[in-house]
A and B are shown apart, each in its own frame.
Chain A
Amino acid sequence: MEATVTTANNDEKTWGGGDIQPLGASYGKMMMWFFIVSDALTFSGFLAAYGFSRFKFIETWPLADEVFTHFPFMHGVSAPMYYVALMTFILIFSSVTMVLAVDAGHHLKKSKVAVYMFLTIIGGLIFVGSQAWEWKNFIKGEYGAVETAGGSLLQFVDKDGKRVALEEFAVKLPEQREALTRSKEKWFMEDAETQPTYSVAEIQAGFKAHPDLLIRTETLTAAKKKTVLTRAESESRLNTAKYVVEGANLTRNEYGSKLFADFFFFITGFHGFHVFSGVIINIIIFFNVLLGTYEKRRSYEMVEKVGLYWHFVDLVWVFVFTVFYLV
């Protein structure tokens, strides 16, 4: 073993990259910084691609404060922004406990490091859980919409411009096609879950039966609101309907542009995966702290390195928050 760790100056710190530190940081810390540089560029690529698609559909892009309106235990109350603001605070606070752990590490206070690491892990878990809840609401949807043959999305509003959910007006027609079930067909021929609750014909019939309903298109007006059509226009637009859209998936979503949901899933998913892996790494380091690994080393630099990663995750969220929810 000794042969493999010999360096020119026969120094013992080969694992740390030797004594020569051109940038004044240890090997591990410097490489963590450069990993962060490359990861930052990956996220920038995603966010720039989001910007590209948004510029492409600048007149029809969904309005974020109409999409993310849920808050736990507040049903039917439109609370835009509050939930993501809460998530942001949770992540900033877990960043604070992380930096406090690093600070305690500098003073070799083992129990303090452990407590702060533990709080950081809890914060990270709460954040990932919040994101899962956000995804659940996004996927489930609230009002539903229909898609036309040309790929535009039509949403339903009443006279005051308030959104109306499909189930409030759709009529139940005699089933045109029964959804396949495993009990009636072959075991792999099941599509009950992917069938929307209503067919296009049921939506069209329901729309006719409610003369005060209007259709809202994706197009933004000069006042940055969605365009509401007149009753006559609405009826002719609805005749071109092809799909009933409920909630969101990677193919289509009830909020508007298809790419909106794709980018939402991809960017927040990629960020959530970073948070998740950060939590796992934090747990490993937490146990190392408890076992006294760094106490024996007389250096808590590993805590500092995972700290860098954790702060980076927070840093990315600051940008995702701005780009997805504010702008």
Chain B
Amino acid sequence: MSHEHVSNTKRIWFVFGLLSVVTTVEVILGILKPASLEFNHFIGLNLLNWIFYILTIFKAYYIVWAFMHMEGEKSSLRWSVVSPVIFLVLYLLFILLTEGHYIYGVFKDSTIKWNF
């Protein structure tokens, strides 16, 4: 195994601090919802949601890399775990969100009123 058996305690507490700060920022933004962020859009998504998603991925990176110790694994394991997830999730999101938007249009432009 590729673990050099040194204590990582310092790094663990650093990552914990980082995750806590990011979560606090998210909660503060979620409560305040600054209008300048909420009503300005960038590629179909408002800036506030962009910030939330970027911070989420930032947190996910630190959980996987530091807590799950992905940084200590071989790059072959890293790629075989991370790349299928990223590729398939992007694909899934693209398909489902596009279709959801299409069905929204169908409902809006027709007289169907069936809430399912």
Contacts and interface: CB of A to CB of B under 8 A. Distances in A.
Interface stretch (A125-133, A174-182, A279-287, A318-326): A318-326
A177 B59 CA distance: 55
A304 B73 CA distance: 13
A52 B99 CA distance: 7
A92 B16 contact: yes
Interface stretch (A36-44, A159-167, A183-191, A227-235): A36-44
B72 to A, nearest CB: 10
B37 interface: no
A257 B20 contact: no
Contacts of A59: 104
A312 to B, nearest CB: 7
Given A56-B103, A80-B31, A24 B53 contact: no
A98 to B, nearest CB: 8
A88 B23 contact: yes
Contacts of B1: 24-26
Interface stretch (A100-108, A197-205, A208-216, A263-271): A100-108
A224 B52 contact: no
Nearest to B66: A99
A85 interface: yes
Contacts of A52: 96-97, 99-100
For A34, A311, A325, A326, which residue has the most chain B Cβ atoms within 10 angstroms? Answer: A326
B97 A51 contact: yes
A40 B64 CA distance: 12
A257 B115 contact: yes
How many chain B residues sit at the interface, stated as a range, is 35 or more
Interface in B32-90: 38, 49, 52-53, 55-56, 59-60, 63-64, 66-69, 73-74, 76-77, 80-81, 84-85, 88-89
Contact of A56 (B56, B69, B104): B104
B113 A151 contact: yes
Nearest to B92: A48
Contacts of B73: 23-25
Nearest to B45: A327
A65 B31 CA distance: 8
Contacts of B30: 65, 80-81, 325-326
Contacts of B23: 85, 88-89, 92
Given A24-B2, A36-B81, A55-B101, A326 B92 contact: no
Nearest to B79: A23
Contact of B115 (A82, A106, A151): A151
Contacts of A318: 56, 59-60, 63
B9 interface: yes
A269 to B, nearest CB: 21
Interface in A139-161: 150-152
Contacts of A99: 8, 12, 66-67, 69
20 contacts: A24-B74, A24-B76, A30-B77, A36-B81, A37-B81, A41-B89, A55-B100, A56-B103, A57-B115, A58-B101, A82-B27, A85-B24, A92-B20, A99-B69, A103-B9, A150-B115, A257-B115, A258-B115, A307-B68, A322-B56
Given A96-B13, A96-B16, 5 more contacts: A23-B73, A23-B76, A51-B100, A55-B101, A106-B3
